[in-house]
Amino acid sequence: MAEYDLTLHMIPLLDRQLVFPLLEFVSTKGVYRAEDMLKAKYELLSHTNMVDFTGSLYRQIHDVDELPEEFAKKRAEVIRKLEESEQKTEHIREVIENPEVAGSLRQDKLQNMKLLGESYQCTPEMVLELYNFGQLQYNCGNYGGSADLLFHFSILSTDPELTLSAMWGKLASEILLGNWEVAYEDMLKLKETIEKTHFKSPTEQLQQRSWLLHWSLFVFFNHPKGRDGIVDTFLLPQYISTIQNACPWMLRYLTAAVVTNRRRRNMMQELVKIIEQTTYTYRDPVIEFVEALYVDFDFDRAASKLEQCEDVLDQDFFLTRAVDDFLENARFFFAEVYCRIHKRIDMVGLSKRLGMKQEACEKWIVKLIRDTRMDAKIDFKDNTVVMNPSYNPIYQQVIERTKALVFRSQVLNGAIDKRDSLSSKKPEQKQKNRQQQQQQQQHQKVGRKAHDNAVAAPVM
């Protein structure tokens, strides 16, 4: 299954320490050779300051008890540095943690710096030291400390580049700590900053965005609201273009998110369009499932792809927990398309395609019919599902098209009236206008309901 493993794609766009959980996961799945994995982990962490852990990895790889001297040296060095930084930042940390100070800080960063400088003798160098200390802490694996420090730094610093970098550090720390709530907010902030900042070159912005896409996966698939968040974020035009330009494999996660998020069904159309445009650069079973279902309408292929999906998702660090959810929803989409197209459906065939027992399938279909208010009936005699496809008859179409006209004309009329009496009583008119509109809307809703009842042809 190494074929569909995205770890290699993702490593360049993640932080060292964020990669670690990925590697851990992959090694438990046994996709790659265990020794290679160990080496990779060692290589990964040897550039951080987590000396002890690296040392134990070293021992595992080389199967020795004693560590080379450099480990001890490095350890001493790291500890020395930590102490040094701690001393240096002592003053400013005290100052910041003083609630009085926190209360007096304002939006304006320059003003804040001035305040700190005047009343508490904090120099910009000290603030910078916060950043360094935070980075050091992060490298040592002390994420809680680094998150705090970097947060303070990003509030105080006036250097936009370092601020951005501190925000990344904070996000990574929160992710590694597992504070999803905080991480989610941090990520949104970061997203905003990236959009607002003017980067020197478009490439740089592209890079920032693709980082964000990758890092956000940790958050989205762990935060309760993540499923909505990922769809909203990834489908933003700039992120779609980022996916298509820099990291098409992210399409898997987008697809999975859209499929599992049944409430946002209308996103499917958009997704299909993107998939159609992108499949020439990247494809995997998850995407191919959607492609087979919505582009080629090849149900057999879609079914077989769905089977593959199970394995692929299981091997994926982020999606492994969503496998069942995905399969359930994928079946739902499958059935929906199937029902839309067919008049009579053979239950045996369908259950086979969906990979279910016939009885379970029957139950499932009943549930489906109830959930979606499809106009369908199960015929036990032939063991079929009979659909009553409903088309908007022409008169209904005409009604629908002209329905809004009344409202629109009224608004227009109201606008003209308002304009006439604009000079005298502007606010009053506005309120009145709004009331009118609300009434109008209610009126319409009522009208529509009545109409629906009369026609008794609900549209899915």
Partner 1 sequence: MPRFFRGNESDSDSDYDSTSDSGASDVETQQQRSTVTSNRFANAAFDSDSDDENVKRVVKSAKEKQSEEITEVSKAILNAVRADEWKEVASDFDKVVGIAAKLSKTLKDQKLPRVYIRCLYELEEATERGRSKEELSKLNADVIRGFNKVKQRVRKYNKDFSKQIAEYKANPVVSEDESDGAAGAPGGQAALEQREPLKSKGKSRATEANSESESESDSGESESESSSEASSGPDDSWGSGSESESESESESESESENEREGEGATHARYSRWLKKEPTKKKVEVKKPAKKEKAQQRAAVQAAAPEEEGKEDDGFTTVGKGGKAAAKPVITAENLSKHLDSILESRGRKNTDKKEAVSKLEGLLSIAANPLQKAKVLMGLVSAQFDSSGNAQYTPIELWHKTQTTINELLSLLEANPKISIFETAEVAEDYNDFKYAGEAAGLRGSLISFVDRLDDEFTRSLQNIDPHTPEYVERMRDTVPLYVTIVRAQHYFERIGLKDSICRIVLRRLEHLYYRTDQVNAHVEANIAPLPGHGTSTIVPASAAGNMEAVIHSLCAFLYQNAEPLLRTRAMLMQIFNHALHKRYYVARDLLLMSHIQENVHQADVNTQVLYNRALAQLGLAAFRLGKIQEAFDHTLELVSSGRQRELLAQGVTQQRTQQLSPAEEQLQRQRQLPFHININLELLECVFLTSSMLIEIPYMASANTNPEARRAPVSRLFRRMLDFNERQVFIGPPENTRDHIMAAAKALATGDWESARDFVQDIKIWSLLPDCDEIKATLATRIQIEALRTYLFTYSTQFESVGLEELADMFGLSVAKVYSLLARMVYGGELQASIDEMSGVLVFSRASFEVSSRLQQTALTLANKVNTFADVNERVFELKINGGNPPGDRQQAGNEQGHRHQGERDGGRSNQQRGRDGQRGGRDGGNQQRKDGANGNGNANASGANRGRGARRGGPGGGGMRRGGGGRR
Residues that bind partner 1 (CB under 8 A): 195, 199, 202-207, 209, 237-238, 240-242, 244-245, 266, 273-274, 277, 280-281, 296-298, 337, 340-346, 349, 382, 384, 387, 389, 391-395, 397-398, 400-405, 407-409, 411-412, 414-416, 418-419, 430, 433-434, 437-438, 441, 459
Closer by beta carbon to partner 1, 11 or else 272 = 272
Residue 251 CB burial class (10 angstroms; 0-12, 13-18, ≥19): buried
At residue 174's C-alpha, the angle toward residues 111 and 2, to 5°, is: 135
Closer by beta carbon to partner 1, 100 or else 280 = 280
DSSP labels, 296-323: I--HHHHHHHHHHHHHHHHT-TTTGGGH
What is the smallest separation between the CB atom of 214 and partner 1, expressed in angstroms?
16
What is the smallest separation between the CB atom of 361 and partner 1, expressed in angstroms?
15
One-letter amino acid for residue 256 of the chain: A
Closer by beta carbon to partner 1, 102 or else 415 = 415
Closer by beta carbon to partner 1, 106 or else 198 = 198
CA distances (Å), origin 21, targets 7, 214, 316, 317, 434: 11, 14, 12, 8, 54
The count of other CB atoms within 10 Å of the CB of residue 263 is 9
- At 274, list the tokens: 């993107």
- Please give the Cα distance from 154 to 392 (Å, whole number): 57
What is the smallest separation between the CB atom of 354 and partner 1, expressed in angstroms?
14
CA distances (Å), origin 65, targets 39, 325, 348: 17, 46, 62
Closer by beta carbon to partner 1, 140 or else 350 = 350
What is the smallest separation between the CB atom of 333 and partner 1, expressed in angstroms?
12
Distance between first and last Cα of the chain? 39
- At 294, list the tokens: 């919505």
Q: Residue 418, SS3?
A: helix
Closer by beta carbon to partner 1, 77 or else 296 = 296
β-pairing verdict for 384-387 and 376-379: antiparallel
What is the smallest separation between the CB atom of 434 and partner 1, expressed in angstroms?
6
Closer by beta carbon to partner 1, 297 or else 307 = 297
Closer by beta carbon to partner 1, 123 or else 241 = 241
- Please give the Cα distance from 319 to 22 (Å, whole number): 12
The count of other CB atoms within 10 Å of the CB of residue 417 is 13
Closer by beta carbon to partner 1, 207 or else 222 = 207
Side-chain-side CA neighbours of residue 199 (13 Å):
13
- Please give the Cα distance from 154 to 164 (Å, whole number): 8
Q: Residue 257, SS3?
A: helix
Residue with tokens 């994995």: 37
What is the smallest separation between the CB atom of 277 and partner 1, expressed in angstroms?
7
- Please give the Cα distance from 343 to 425 (Å, whole number): 60
What is the smallest separation between the CB atom of 124 and partner 1, expressed in angstroms?
31
The answer to whether 450 and 456 have CB atoms below 8 angstroms apart is no
What is the smallest separation between the CB atom of 21 and partner 1, expressed in angstroms?
28
What is the smallest separation between the CB atom of 211 and partner 1, expressed in angstroms?
12
Closer by beta carbon to partner 1, 118 or else 280 = 280
Give the distance from CA 301 to its chain's centroid: 28
What is the smallest separation between the CB atom of 401 and partner 1, expressed in angstroms?
4
